[in-house]
Amino acid sequence: MASLELKRVVKRYATTTVIHGVDLTVRDGEFVVFVGPSGCGKSTLLRMISGLESVTEGDLWLDGRRVNDVSAAQRGLAMVFQSYALYPHMTVYQNMAFGLENIRTPRSQIDTKVNDAARLLRLEALLGRRPTQLSGGQRQRVAIGRAIVREPTIFLFDEPLSNLDAELRVQMRTEITALHQRLKTTMIYVTHDQVEAMTMADKIVVLNAGRVEQIGAPLDLYNAPRNKFVAGFIGSPRMNFLSVRVTGVGPDGVGVMTDANSPRAAATIPVRGESGLVGQAAVLGIRPEHIHLRRAEPDELALTVMIELLEQLGSTSFLYCVLPSGEKLTVQLAGQIDKEAGEQIEVCFATIDAHLFAKTESEPAFERLKTPAVHVAA
Amino acid sequence: MLASSRLPLRALAVAIATVALNAVELPMRALQRLLGVPRIGWVFVTPNLVVLGLFTFLPIVIDFYYAFTGGVQLDLRARPFTGWENLQTLFECGSYLDPSTCRKDLFWRAVHNTAWFALLQVGLMVVLSLVTALVLNRKILGRGFFRGVFFYPVLLSPVVVALIWKWILQREGLLNAMLHSAGIAGPVWLNEPGWAFSWSVFVSIWAHMGFYTLILLAGLQAIPADLYEAAEMDSASPWRRFYRITLPLLMPNLLVVLVLAVIRAVQMFDEIFVLTGGGPGSATLFIVQFIYQTAFAESIRLYGLAAAASLVLATTLLALTVVQLRISRQGLSGKAGRDDG
Amino acid sequence: MVDLVRMLAGTRGHRRLDWTDWLSYAYLLLGLVLMFGPVLWLVLSSFKSAAALNEFPPRLLPYGQASVTVPGHPGPLPLFRVKLPDGSTRQLAELRRIGIQATMIDPERPEEEFKVNIRDRERVRAFHLALENYTEIFGKFAFGRFLWNSVFITVVATLITLLFNAMAAFALSKYRFEGQKWVFLLIISTLMIPPTIILVPNFLVVSKLSLLNSLWGVIWPAVATPTGVFLLRQYMLTIPDELIDAARMDHASEWRIFWRIVLPLSAPALAVLAIFSVIWRWNDFLWPLVVLSRTENFTLQLALNSFQGELTTQWNYLLAMTVLTLFPVTIVFAFLQRYITAGIASAGVK
């Protein structure tokens, strides 16, 4: 039985619609991440699930029960806030015990649960302290502990790591994932950071301007983005987008030509297309990591570009190049290279790694004819 | 503020300023040469200190002198030394709880009245201020306007406040007119001891609650909204949210309000004096009025007794302040020593 | 009950207005009526003539005798509603009254005269502002004098307060001299001193300085406000010391620095103190009561108090005087309400 179900959920504030009909199913034990740019509605969606915001239209089902009209206090969920929202006048122990006191749990049980959670999160030594006496990471763990103690059916996280520095963020990310593996409770996690989404999620929900763009496993989103928005959002560094013109449509795929003046700048992308597309403009997508400097193979597209900027990190190199047409291209290579800014180079990539999109962001990508080989790490 | 005034006024102000500047400059430069830069600070602070010294510190010392001397002369040299006599007279009582057994029964009546007044007025006013602050803290239209509404009476002079209500409480005033239309015959409110006292409490609450409402409102607004959301997620009922979150976090402000309100209530004079004059009889006679009367309004001016009474008042206020500060320090820091390593 | 508590517990804004919102509005509306109502009633009453004030139950708006100008007769004639012997009622103007008989005429047909018993007639009322309440107080009761006294005390005391407090605040914020800390503590400690304890001795001091019964006897004791020094010092601490050092390098004397640099830069804080001082001095009562014994030196507050103490209080004049007394403070309130409430609110947080 599904743990959480959203059916055509809409959120309206007076005249503005913030969430335009979201459908979502979350299974018991899943780690689902809501991701998207600022203002896309991911926090609003989370708050609607928690009960802190009302649902304007549509249905919200928790474990088979319609909970639109059930108050936040009674949904049996727990939330970790971005600002932690720890009670400053209570000790860590009291912060964690508060929720259980409210539902009139016997004191001995409260004691056991709080101590168990404290042990799990290595907070035993801090139980007598006040939040103002804790570091950022410690406060984060107390906030999580407060949620754990309630044994909720779903954990809700509202951008919990955005107030931490980079190093702490990586550490807490692994801790939360470990927690999920240990407790096996459903978790819904909101973030704007796609790296967090990719590393932590069982399932990612990509949101944009109140609409769901795509739902899927992290690698599915990476390999088969449904539209230009998802393609550009998932993956770091961002996918390159080049303007191309459709030269022909056939059983092998769609022929395109870039605006570059180069013989090998045309190729056939193995996607399905209609004949009416010939002559139309389209967008070709290729991830920086799929571009290489080796000699071009027959089914590859080659481009001559000039390196504007070169960043060498030792294990990876980033080439920020520009095409004769003025469009930018980012290339990611493993290892170090012996090139300089200002040099002209030839770059290539396999057509099977390319994506083809229509010019508008939300129009679906052209459907693949062949599945690309998965780039398995050696 | 000066910038917004009209042009001729501004020119006049500039002219005065320049004249004043130049006039004082010469002697100041001389003093500066004499004393050097850091010590010139003394010159700047002197006018204030002189006024304070003359009209605050010196009088405190003199007050003790008055309290320990007798006679009816204002002039200190004409007053015979009587030691503790004034204070003894004040405290000569059969039972402190019954003013009529006291030699200076008026003083003790004033003490009782003041004590009851402080209790009732502060108690009711703090509750009302809290409720009002809670209401004003909600997201409602025009809360800035309503904040001002409650604060307006605070700005009115006590005399005006008293007259406004005295006019309403007249035998044929607004209140009785409204009761009359409901078929009830209202009494002459300020002529009845019980009612005069109650109305004194009401009027002083009316005139002062806006100030405390603002202090409490500031305290409420300092509580982050997501604490309430977290409490909601913690299954806290609205009552628990108020009792376990709002109240504890508001406690510092509440204590400040309490201290200020009690200190003011114990020294209440102006509006009550104009409203009831201490009457009927001595039903609304409070301690400051007693002091004023004893020193300035009676045919025989007992400066010594008045001074003694003011010493008693000052001591009480000092004790109250110390007690309140001690309580507030405990309330704020919680139990020290819970800092486990 | 739960919802009542929810209303007080301050929840997030629901999009729909539930009944707790209505209750809040009702409470605030009640507050509005109770806070402004009495003042409004005062103002309305102050425009009623003495006769109108004697009515019970009182009418809401000021009403007076309606009158009508009839051609051929000098001056307006009072208008009455008259019951005529034939049973009809007409509005007639009264020419003259002798005993219980009134001679009345129809305003439209002035030649026709009626002899009417005064029992058969009733005044016609019209909205009428008894402005004489306001104008006569200046003549009959020397209100102008009291106004002057109050204005003089308020303005002079405020100016001196600003100067003395600013000088002291400057010394305590921008200098380091021996004993400075003690001076500051001394000044702040006076906040703890209740005014009653220095009432009697101050009377002696003022009398020895020959300031008894003088406006200056009210002004001088009031100018060294510790709150003012504290407020200004707090503000002056935020003025960068470099500005003052730069001025010293430019050979400016300390007085010039104070007058030309620090004072103008402290304008916002000075404005706040000025407003406080104006309100405090305007509303002062106990100390002026003690110091000023001759009526011609009374401030507005003292004058109001002495008039209402009389056996036969002429309320129409007293009300007008009261309205005029609260007028300046009301103006201050109207313009600066937002700043006053914000300022006190933020200070309260400390």
pLDDT digits (tens, 9 = 90+) for C283-323: 999 999 999 988 889 999 999 888 887 656 788 888 888 99
Q: Name the residue among B172, B166, B272 with its Cα closest to residue C42.
A: B166
H or E element at residue C263: helix C263-265
- Can A2-233 and A240-357 be said to share one CATH topology? no
Residue A244: per-residue pLDDT = 87
H or E element at residue C281: helix C267-283
Residue type, C67: S
Computed over every residue of chain A, the mean pLDDT equals 88
pLDDT digits (tens, 9 = 90+) for A103-123: 898 999 999 999 999 999 999
**CB-based contacts of C239, cutoff 8 Å, min separation 6:** C173, C174, C262, C265, C266
Mapped onto helix, strand or coil, the DSSP state of residue C88 is coil
Using the beta-carbon criterion (under 8 Å), do B140 and C21 form an inter-chain contact?
yes
Domain chopping of chain A, boundaries? 2-233, 240-357
> Any bridge partners for residue C68, and if so which?
C77
Q: A188 phi and psi, to 5 degrees? A: -115, 125
pLDDT digits (tens, 9 = 90+) for B252-289: 889 889 888 998 999 999 999 999 988 788 889 999 99
Percent share of chain A, pLDDT over 90: 58
- According to DSSP, residue C197 is labeled G
Using the beta-carbon criterion (under 8 Å), do C318 and B56 form an inter-chain contact?
no
The residue ranking higher by pLDDT, C343 or A363, is A363
Using the beta-carbon criterion (under 8 Å), do C15 and A52 form an inter-chain contact?
no
Domain chopping of chain B, boundaries? 2-86, 96-333
pLDDT over 50 at A201, yes or no: yes
The residue ranking higher by pLDDT, A249 or A289, is A289
Contacts of C171 in chain B (CB under 8 A): 41-45
What residues 119-178 of chain A have any CB closer than 8 A to a CB of chain B? Answer: 125-130, 133, 146, 150
Exposed e or buried b per residue across A129-159, where buried means at least 16 C-beta atoms within 10 angstroms of its C-beta: bbbeebeebbbbbbbbbbbbbbebbbbbbbb
User: At what angle are helices C267-283 and C143-174 packed, to 10 degrees?
Assistant: 140
Pick from B237, B240, B338: which is nearest to A91 by CB? Answer: B338
Residue type, C54: N
Which segments of C47-96 does DSSP mark as H helices, in order?
50-53
Contacts of A52 in chain C (CB under 8 A): 12
Using the beta-carbon criterion (under 8 Å), do A52 and B229 form an inter-chain contact?
yes
List the single residue in B with minimal CA-CA distance to A96.
Answer: B234
pLDDT over 50 at B36, yes or no: yes
Residue C61: per-residue pLDDT = 81
List the single residue in A with minimal CA-CA distance to C13.
Answer: A53
Q: Is the dihedral of CA B58, B60, B63, B67 positive or negative?
A: negative
pLDDT over 80 at C5, yes or no: no
Band of residue B88 on the pLDDT scale cut at 50, 70, 90? confident
Please indicate if any CB of chain A lies within 8 Å of the CB of C13. Answer: no
Q: Name the residue among B261, B257, B275, B266 with its Cα closest to residue B112.
A: B266
Residue from C5, C6, C14, C15 whose CB has the most chain A CBs within 10 Å, to mutate: C15
Percent share of chain B, pLDDT over 90: 38
Distance from CA of B341 to the nearest CA of C (A): 31
Contacts of A14 in chain C (CB under 8 A): 15
Long-range Cβ pairs for the range C275-278 (8 Å, 24+):
C275/C332, C275/C336, C275/C340, C276/C227, C276/C228, C277/C154, C277/C157, C277/C158, C277/C161, C277/C162, C277/C225, C277/C228, C278/C154, C278/C158, C278/C328, C278/C332
User: What is the dotted CATH code of the domain comprising A2-233?
Assistant: 3.40.50.300
Residue A42: per-residue pLDDT = 93
**Rounded Cα–Cα distance for residues A106 and A114 (Å):** 12
CATH class assigned to A240-357? mainly beta
pLDDT digits (tens, 9 = 90+) for B199-220: 999 999 999 999 999 999 999 9
Using the beta-carbon criterion (under 8 Å), do A85 and B244 form an inter-chain contact?
no
CA torsion A201→A203→A206→A212, rounded to 10°?
-150
Tally helices (H) and strands (E) across chain A: 8, 19
Contacts of A85 in chain B (CB under 8 A): 224, 226-227, 229-230
Per-residue pLDDT averaged across A166-180, rounded? 91
pLDDT digits (tens, 9 = 90+) for A258-295: 765 565 677 888 887 777 778 888 888 999 999 998 88
Percent share of chain B, pLDDT over 70: 94
Residue from A80, A91, A102, A133 whose CB has the most chain B CBs within 10 Å, to mutate: A102
Q: Is the dihedral of CA C88, C94, C95, C98 positive or negative?
A: positive
pLDDT over 50 at B341, yes or no: no
pLDDT digits (tens, 9 = 90+) for A67-88: 999 888 889 899 999 999 999 9
Pick from C187, C197, C304: which is nearest to B63 by CB? Answer: C197
Residue type, A188: I
Band of residue A147 on the pLDDT scale cut at 50, 70, 90? very high
Residue C311: per-residue pLDDT = 53
**Rounded Cα–Cα distance for residues B3 and B18 (Å):** 17
Residue A139: per-residue pLDDT = 93
User: At what angle are helices B58-67 and C199-208 packed, to 10 degrees?
Assistant: 110
- Cα angle A183-A189-A192, degrees, rounded to a multiple of 5: 150
- Copy the structure tokens of residue C237: 């601490």
List the single residue in B with minimal CA-CA distance to A77.
Answer: B233
Band of residue C51 on the pLDDT scale cut at 50, 70, 90? confident
Task: Give all strands (DSSP E) within C214-256, no chain letters.
Answer: none
Per-residue pLDDT averaged across C100-106, rounded? 82
Per-residue pLDDT averaged across C107-118, rounded? 78
Q: Is the dihedral of CA A186, A191, A197, A200 positive or negative?
A: negative
**Rounded Cα–Cα distance for residues B165 and C37 (Å):** 11
Computed over every residue of chain C, the mean pLDDT equals 83
Superfamily of chain region B96-333: MetI-like (1.10.3720.10)
Please indicate if any CB of chain B lies within 8 Å of the CB of A70. Answer: no
Contacts of C60 in chain B (CB under 8 A): none
Using the beta-carbon criterion (under 8 Å), do C308 and B237 form an inter-chain contact?
no
**Rounded Cα–Cα distance for residues A13 and B120 (Å):** 46
Band of residue B334 on the pLDDT scale cut at 50, 70, 90? very low
**Rounded Cα–Cα distance for residues B83 and B104 (Å):** 18
Residue B335: per-residue pLDDT = 37
